[in-house]
């Protein structure tokens, strides 16, 4: 299930590590790569967001909408300032708040993701995801969902297990949709 407050805190955590406003595409890529690592380790994303292929590589669908102002959310706007041109940053007050939605394992994934990719530019990250995220396909100016089987295969899971893990992933998403009606 998409978790707006957790997603906002993931973004804030990575922006704090960056130490300054970041190009929004860089933050999008870092968040995608963290979700991808979470899927590899635990079979599910940190964000609960949809993984999609877009022209500049794989991204988190709802996070993309939040960053571009196409979707509004109070949790997001409390933590993350409105985008200026191509950069995004935390709100001034959120720099003093606890990141209580992030577990220890969440933080480990974010720390490892930032340690591995944080020094890369947005364009280097775009190119890296194009070359190394085999689940991504060029949507030719459009976008489409990344199939869970394709993601698990790209993560090195054998075909039979990838199919089983993808089915569990879809079941969780289906359950999340049902439960979200009662929130």
Tell me the whole-structure pTM to 2 decimals. Answer: 0.93
CB distance 168 to 151 below 8 Å: no
Query: What pLDDT, in 10s, does the model give residues 76-94?
Result: 999 999 888 899 999 988 8
Q: What's residue 183's pLDDT?
A: 62
Looking at the predicted structure, is the pLDDT value of residue 56 above 90?
yes
Phi, psi of 136 (to 5 degrees): -80, 135
Q: What is the mean pLDDT of residues 117-128?
A: 98
Q: What's residue 96's pLDDT?
A: 77
- Please state, for a pLDDT cut of 70, what percent of the chain lies above it: 99
Mean pLDDT across the chain, nearest whole number?
93
Residue with tokens 């940190």: 46
Q: Which residues fall within 8 angstroms of residue 108, CB to CB, at 6 or more apart?
A: none
């Amino acid at each position: 299930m998409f978790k707006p407050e957790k997603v906002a805190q993931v973004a804030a955590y990575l922006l704090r590590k960056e130490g300054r406003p970041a190009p929004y595409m860089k933050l999008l890529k870092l968040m995608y790569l963290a979700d991808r690592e979470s899927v590899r380790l635990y079979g599910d994303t940190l964000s609960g967001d949809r993984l999609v292929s877009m022209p500049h590589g794989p991204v988190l669908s709802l996070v993309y909408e939040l960053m571009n102002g196409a979707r509004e959310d109070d949790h997001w706007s409390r933590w993350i300032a409105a985008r200026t041109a191509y950069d995004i940053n935390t709100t001034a007050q959120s720099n003093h708040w606890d990141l209580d939605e992030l577990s220890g394992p969440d933080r480990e994934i974010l720390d490892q993701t930032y340690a591995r990719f944080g020094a890369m530019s947005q364009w280097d990250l775009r190119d890296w995801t194009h070359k190394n995220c085999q689940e991504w396909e060029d949507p030719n100016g459009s976008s489409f969902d990344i199939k869970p089987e394709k993601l698990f295969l790209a993560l090195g899971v054998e075909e039979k297990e990838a199919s089983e893990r993808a089915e569990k992933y879809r079941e969780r998403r289906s359950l999340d949709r049902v439960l979200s009606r009662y929130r």
